[in-house]
Structure 1
Amino acid sequence: MSHYIYLAVNFFAVIICFIFSFHPKIKFNRHFKAFLSASIVVAVFFIAWDIWFTAHGVWWFNDRYLIGIRILGLPIEELLFFICIPFSCVFTYYCLDLFFRLDWNKNAEKFLVVFSIITCIILAIIFRDKIYSLVTFITTAATLLTLFFILKVRWIGKASFIYFILMPGFFAVNGILTGTGLDTPIVNYNPKDFMGFRMLTIPVEDAVYGYEMILWNLFFFQKFKRNEQN
Structure 2
Amino acid sequence: MQLTYLLIDFLTVIICFVFSFHPKIRFNRYFGAFFLSSFIVGLVFIGWDIWFTKTGVWWFNDKYITGFKIFELPIEEILFFICIPFSCIFTYFCLDKFFDLDWKTSQEKVFIPVSIIIYLIIAIYFRDNIYTLVTFLSLSITLFILYFVMKSGWLGKATTVYLLLFPGFLTVNGILTGTGLDTPVVNYNPEDYIGLRIFTIPIEDFFYGYEMILWNLFLFKKFSRKNSLDSADIL
Per the normalisation by structure 2, the TM-score is 0.97
Deviations 1:47-94 (CA, angstroms, capped at 9, x unpaired): 000000000000000000000100001000000000000000000000
Alignment-derived partner of residue 233 in structure 2: none
Question: Which consecutive aligned stretches of 4+ in structure 1 deviate over 4 angstroms post-superposition?
Answer: none
Alignment-derived partner of residue 15 in structure 1: 14
Deviations 1:150-194 (CA, angstroms, capped at 9, x unpaired): 000000000000000000000000000000000000000000000
Equivalent residue letter for 1:69: F
RMSD (Å), alpha carbons: 0.6
Secondary structure of the equivalent of 1:60?
strand
Alignment-derived partner of residue 5 in structure 1: 4
Identity %: 61
Distance across 1 between alignment mates of 2:27 and 2:38: 15
Alignment-derived partner of residue 104 in structure 2: 105
Distance across 2 between alignment mates of 1:115 and 1:172: 29
Report whether the alignment pairs 1:126 with 2:98.
Answer: no
Alignment-derived partner of residue 232 in structure 2: none
Alignment-derived partner of residue 190 in structure 2: 191
Distance across 2 between alignment mates of 1:213 and 1:184: 26
Distance across 1 between alignment mates of 2:169 and 2:199: 12
Alignment-derived partner of residue 29 in structure 1: 28
Alignment-derived partner of residue 203 in structure 1: 202
Deviations 1:78-123 (CA, angstroms, capped at 9, x unpaired): 0000000000000000000001111110110121111111110010
Secondary structure of the equivalent of 1:205?
helix
1:1-230 residue pairs with structure 2 within 5 A?
2-229=1-228
Secondary structure of the equivalent of 2:191?
helix
Equivalent residue letter for 2:201: I
**Count of aligned residue pairs for this structure pair:** 229
Per the normalisation by structure 1, the TM-score is 0.99
Structure 2 unaligned segments of length 5 or more: list them.
230-235
Equivalent residue letter for 1:115: V
Secondary structure of the equivalent of 1:3?
coil
**How big is the shift at 1:229?**
2.4
